[in-house]
Amino acid sequence: MVSIIAILVAATTIGGLNVLRRAQATRIASDFRQIETAWVTWRADTHHQYPKENEYPPNPPGYCDDEPLMQNTNLFNNHELDDETAPNPRWNGPYLEDIPLDPWRRQYTYDNDEDASGVYIFLTYLPADAGRYNQLIPILDELIDNSDGTGGRFGWYSSAACGGIVYRIIPGPATY
């Protein structure tokens, strides 16, 4: 009797964790799409190309790259960009109601090096957090790209220093 109860508890716990992971992945996928929609709307309003990432302040310590936080971009503030002498008069933002945060309250970052690889939204994490993010990768790949690996809009990378989940706004060759 005790072993049957233990098996039922284990199955319920595993099932619950799978539901939780899917909910977390769904939230991240939704955040990616909302941020993408905000950038598309910003471009339509301002008639401007996607800004270069170096037009914004770099990340604070605690992030494993120097890509700017989404809150520091033109989605929230009408920054002057390199080719402008004043803020854009067509700006109708902010383009997101709140600063998007992942399920663990980490901010998304913006990447546009103006190279052939495209424009990206990053969700980076430190090695100590790799386990929880890596569990979401197959679910996110399924939700965003129908489980195609790294060839579509969704990708990921990992190194000893950090890892990242990547969503491509503007297509370019996959370079994850």
d(CA 112, CA 35): 14
Q: Which helix (H) or strand (E) holds 171?
A: none
The tokens 């302040």 sit on which residue?
57
pTM, to two decimals = 0.83
CATH topology (fold) of 2-170: Glycoprotein, Type 4 Pilin (3.30.700)
CB 35 within 8 A of CB 96: yes
Chain Cα centroid distance, residue 139 = 14
Which pLDDT does position 142 carry in this prediction?
93
Condensed to tens digits (0 to 9), the pLDDT of residues 136-145 reads: 999 999 999 8
Per-domain residue ranges for the chain? Answer: 2-170
Q: How many CB atoms lie within 10 A of CB 62?
A: 8
pLDDT digits (tens, 9 = 90+) for 65-94: 788 999 999 999 888 876 666 788 899 999
Q: Is the model's pLDDT at 54 over the cut of 50?
A: yes
